[in-house]
A and B are shown apart, each in its own frame.
Chain A
Amino acid sequence: MTEPINQAAPVRNAEFKAAVLLVLLAALVLGAALYLLYARGAFESTQTLILQAEDSEGVSVGMDVTFAGFPIGRVRRIELSKEGKARLVVDVPRDDAHWLRSSSIFTLERAIVGGAKLRAFSGIPTDPPLEDGATRSLLVGDAAAEIPRLLAAAKDLLQNLNDLTAENSALAASLANVAGVTGKLNGPHGAMGLIAGDDKNAQQLTERANKLLTTVNALAVKADSLIGHADDRVFGQQGVMTDAQATIVQLNGLLTDARNSLKKMDAVLVEAQGVASNTKEATADLGTLRGEVESSLRRVEQLVNEINRKWPFKRDTEIKLP
């Protein structure tokens, strides 16, 4: 006798629904597999690029190589070369390979936060494209490596600052001197006390300065008188300036005479120009005359030739054949 076993509630069209679920699962798994293969570049035609670096720290397989922020390749393999350098084998899809030129450079940047970045730069887009399997060296820029250097420099700077601001430093001594100077400037003798040193010397200096000022005053009076005399001699009734004015008047007359002389000279030149013109015409007539003389001479020559032909002793120039 078997006990009744709890059966699941009967499902209508169970086989059809189960088939739908199976197909759905198969479609999901197949679709996900195809999408992942596509995402990992399984259907892309690629070319290989090999990047060599001293150190591949921070680089991982599957990492992107970017150009202008766009991924154009991914690291397929990282290996150690015979020279002890890191070799990064990068797959670049052929559709994106035209961004890489033979003159392109590649950098590995390691930031303080986040992973390293592989970047490509093509400066001259007209250069020939990068060939398949090309090997390029990788320039490494490491922000974290700068930190110890920066810290050492900052430490030196702080030490120098400490030295500068120390109690017995040169800066402190200078500032104490400045305080002394300003104290003297504010004292009863002011700047004079600062220049003279002690009070006695300052007093003597003041007295001497007063004497000097008195002398300078007298000198100024004398200079004033001298300037008055000079004014009389230059601009007075018999002064230099009056004579100069008369001289200028005479010079003006002389210039008027010179202008008249030049006008006469101008007329003479006009006449000379007329003479030259006549000479030119006469020269033209001489040409005509020469032509006439030549014509007469030709006629005389013709006449002489005629006479020679009609002359009885004329040579017989005709040749008679037998």
Chain B
Amino acid sequence: MSTQASLPNLLQRLHHGAVGWLHSWWRLLHFAVLMFSVALTPSTYGRDRRPMLAGHLVADTAPNLAWYGVLSALVSLVLIRIVVVTSLSYGLSRFALEMVVRVLVLELIPLTAAAFVALRTTLPAGLEFSQGRSADRQVSEQELHGEFFPRVAAGIFAVWMLAAVSCVLTLILAYLSLYGFTPWALTGYTRVVGQVFNPAVTLILVLKIVFFSLAVGLIPMASSFYFGGSYRNKVTHGLSDMVRLFAVMLLIEVASLMGNYY
């Protein structure tokens, strides 16, 4: 008797869960479209809104840039050294540069840049922002332009900036680690870099950074935008945002790996 009663209950719960899950993704998509339309509105960049946008941009990017630059340079140096020494010991040193570029610049740097910005800036800022807002208040257009968009834009920009700086820095470090302070290996190095970055790989790298940045910028703020009134939501939405963000990043990374190597 109890099993007969619990089966519809289970199905009902499953149904509720699926609907809630789809609804949350739909809300995320809706928020993304809203932000996109705000980004395309010229008044967003008006004189009165520019200081707020610029402030978020600088506050989210500059400290991360310094810290992430130093950390990524150190990790890159260690990884480059490991790859070079290992390839030398197996007599495969001519493949070392290609491997360094592929592993670091194409895969690790964009992923860690996005994770760094998410953990240090957008996830805490999103949670803090949502906790500061009242539970049952509708978002006005003024708030959309003045509060949400600058935070989202700052998160997106920070990922672009960190990824670009770290990729260039890693390419320079790879050259210096392999050849030292000499300009004479630049021709061969440029040739190998040119071979690695064929049009398909370059496009996938650019798309990956763009999608990472969108995920990092949009997902934490989307929850604040649709923040419900319940206390439970208030406590748990920070964690669910993080899980959702890293799930999306994992999906993007898997898709880029499939695009590059299949």
Give the interface of A toward B (CB within 8 A).
2-6, 8-11, 14-15, 17-19, 21, 24-25, 28-29, 31-32, 35-36, 38-41, 61-64, 71, 74, 113-114
Contact = CB atoms under 8 A, between A and B. Distances in A.
B97 interface: no
A21 B198 contact: no
B50 A61 contact: no
B61 A3 contact: no
Contacts of A35: 190, 193
Contacts, number: 90
Binding site secondary structure of chain B: helix
Q: Of A18, A21, A36, A114, which is in contact with the most chain B CB atoms at under 10 Å from its CB? A: A18
Interface in B32-79: 50-51, 53-59, 61-62
12 contacts: A2-B134, A4-B132, A5-B129, A6-B129, A17-B58, A18-B54, A18-B55, A25-B157, A25-B160, A39-B191, A61-B198, A63-B195
Contacts of A63: 195
Interface of B: 50-51, 53-59, 61-62, 92, 94-95, 128-129, 132-134, 137, 147, 157, 160-161, 164-165, 167-168, 188, 190-191, 193-195, 197-198, 202
B197 A40 contact: yes
B212 to A, nearest CB: 15
Contacts of A113: 92
B198 A39 contact: no
Contact of A114 (B56, B95, B188, B193): B95
B133 A5 contact: yes
A114 B96 CA distance: 12
A125 to B, nearest CB: 22
Contacts of A11: 54-55, 58-59
Contact of A10 (B55, B132, B188): B55
B55 A8 contact: yes
Contact of A62 (B157, B161, B190, B195): B195
The A interface is mostly helix, strand or loop, or mixed, namely mixed
Contacts of B194: 36, 38-41, 62
A216 to B, nearest CB: 76
A309 B49 CA distance: 159
Given A8-B59, A32-B168, A3 B157 contact: no
Contacts of B137: 2
Nearest to B161: A25
Contacts of A9: 59
A62 to B, nearest CB: 5
B140 to A, nearest CB: 9
